[in-house]
Amino acid sequence: MAAPGPAARVLVPAGRISTGAVAAVLAVGLVAPQVWRRWAVAVFLTGLVAGLPHGAVDHLVPGWFRRGSRPAAGHRTVVPLGYAAAAAAVPAAALTVPACVLCVFLAVSALHFGYGDARFCALRDGPTDPAPRAVHALAHGTVTAVLPLALWPEQVRPVVRQLAPGADWLLAAPVRTATAVLAGAAVAVCCGMALRDGRHRQAAELLLLTALFGLVPPLVAFGTYFGAWHSVRHIARLVLADPANAPALRAGHTAAVLRRFGRQAAVPTAIALAALAFLTALPRAFLADGRTAVGGVVLLAALTFPHLIVVAHLDRGEGRPEPGPGRPSPPRAARRAAAARSPSDRCRDDG
């Protein structure tokens, strides 16, 4: 069963935006592949910039699920400090054991992308049992995070060598074959389960993503996915999880909710953009040093690891689906906000 009214007004457009963007990029790649070969880096950077806001309110997310009406006094300070500490630890580890960090990064990215899409679909289309949800996460995660290693080795090899010297074994023929088989099997099983359960839209979306990463150069595919799919769907989850948005969502004021998110995300996004501009403006001679380049690239990727911790908190806070005829459970924070309303408020809503 589809999401109820207020949630559907956010989730359904987010799904349409993401699938429309991917379909458009895929169509251009099939009709005029030279376009994406020429503009691959530009599309990648555009997607990276477009995706930055989806992690810009990470410092607020834990407070949405605390008991009480507002976070503890030091909460808004402790969370950003912990976030920064976790991000700072990643470059240090990457310079020490780069191959290990790259492997862990690929694994947790697959988990993050896959489970994030599974959660979005559960909110939009109704919950599923644990087994189909796990297969959904595995299929989406392998397609988006590791399938390019198997299908585009020559395009990916320079990036792997720069990030993690000595990790070329990830592109060896046996590893690539195993990766492709795993991804293909996961996609086939996931689509079969989705079709069996009548979730045709989910099967079509997975096939669309598989075509994107299989037929479009990896920089273009990832930039499109990150900026127009993963980020858009994650922002939809965020605006539904924030209990302060509940009244506006019930009233149908989706644009006001999105403007509020934009204000919340503006300063952190500007800081991230400044850091990105600084790194891309470094002198070419400075970037020529292999270890320095690794440190600069990993500094950007380092934000992913603390982001995963915050998203895990969001996953738990959204709550588990309640038993029933396919109705998704509202986010835990929204249930608390609803419970805190006065009886007269609830009567007015019901009337």
Q: Is 59 known to sit in a ligand binding site?
A: no
- Tell me how far apart the alpha carbons of residues 346 and 213 are, in angstroms, rounded to a whole number: 47
Taking alpha carbons only, the member of 262, 290, 315 closest to residue 133 is: 315
> Which residues contact residue 56 at a Cβ distance below 8 angstroms, ignoring those fewer than 6 apart?
264, 265, 266, 267, 268, 269, 272
DSSP E strand stretches across 137-233 = none
Q: Is 112 known to sit in a ligand binding site?
A: yes
Q: Is 234 known to sit in a ligand binding site?
A: yes
- Tell me how far apart the alpha carbons of residues 29 and 204 are, in angstroms, rounded to a whole number: 19
- Are 190 and 136 within 8 A, CB to CB? yes
Q: Is 200 known to sit in a ligand binding site?
A: no
| Backbone φ, ψ for residue 20 (5° rounding) | -65, -40
| Backbone φ, ψ for residue 146 (5° rounding) | -125, -20
> Which residues contact residue 229 at a Cβ distance below 8 angstroms, ignoring those fewer than 6 apart?
18, 19, 21, 22, 209
Taking alpha carbons only, the member of 60, 50, 11, 53 closest to residue 310 is: 60
- Tell me how far apart the alpha carbons of residues 111 and 102 are, in angstroms, rounded to a whole number: 14
Place of tokens 């191959």: 99
Residues annotated in a binding site for Fe cation: 54, 112, 230, 234
Binding residues: 54, 112, 230, 234
